């Protein structure tokens, strides 16, 4: 099964996709950020190259779980996933997670390095705007994409939504139960 797990930054997509892979070791795990960025968070990879890399990874295995949004990558990716899991966690939970993650990632540079401070401030402002339909990357946009996936007549893509601040096992059990209801399994 080809699985995409996505949601707003800080919603737990990386952690949850790794958890799925830990429960199903035959699955390959892939972070879309590893393909999107040529140099982590500073230089984007060319669109055609990242699409080629993702399609190659997906086609090279029967079972893969990809973490992260590929919404704006290429329309060719529209129907490649069998299952799309959308993680929604409210801003009041996500933003503190992101602040902690940034602190762990950059340490004292968040207090001393002007370039890091500016990058951090822009990132947090951008991530905090997820619920705002005027933000470039937002909940409304993701919901429209999920609706398109659900109504695609060319390929059936199962969409599962996990909304709330669940622990990993509870999120996993919700996924399994929702799939079972649809007579599907991982």
Cβ atoms of 10 and 127 closer than 8 Å: yes
Predicted TM-score of the model (pTM): 0.90
* pLDDT recorded at residue 2: 95
Domains and CATH numbers, the chain: 2-181 (3.40.50.300)
* pLDDT recorded at residue 135: 86
The ranges of the chain with pLDDT < 70 are 41, 74-76, 153-154
* pLDDT recorded at residue 40: 72
Q: In DSSP terms, which residues pair with 85 in a beta bridge?
A: 5, 160
Where do the H-state alpha helices sit in the chain?
Answer: 13-23, 32-36, 47-59, 91-106, 109-112, 114-128, 139-151, 168-181
Q: Which two tokens stand for residue 80?
A: 């490649």
* pLDDT recorded at residue 43: 80
């Amino acid at each position: 099964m080809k699985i995409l797990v996505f949601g707003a930054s800080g919603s737990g997509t990386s952690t949850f996709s790794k958890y799925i892979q830990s429960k199903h070791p035959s699955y390959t795990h892939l972070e879309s950020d590893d393909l999107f960025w040529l140099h982590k968070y500073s230089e984007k990879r060319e669109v055609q190259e990242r699409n080629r890399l993702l399609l190659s990874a997906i086609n090279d295995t029967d079972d893969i779980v990809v973490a992260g949004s590929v919404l704006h990558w290429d329309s060719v990716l529209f129907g490649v996933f069998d299952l799309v899991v959308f993680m929604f966690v409210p801003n009041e939970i996500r933003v503190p997670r992101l602040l902690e993650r940034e602190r762990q990632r950059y340490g004292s540079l968040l207090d001393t390095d002007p370039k890091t401070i500016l990058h951090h401030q822009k990132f947090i402002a951008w991530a905090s705007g997820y619920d705002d339909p005027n933000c470039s990357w937002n909940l409304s946009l993701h919901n429209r994409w999920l609706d398109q996936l659900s109504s695609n007549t060319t390929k059936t893509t199962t969409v599962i939504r996990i909304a709330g601040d669940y622990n990993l096992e509870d999120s996993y059990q919700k996924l399994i139960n929702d799939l079972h209801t649809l007579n599907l399994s991982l």
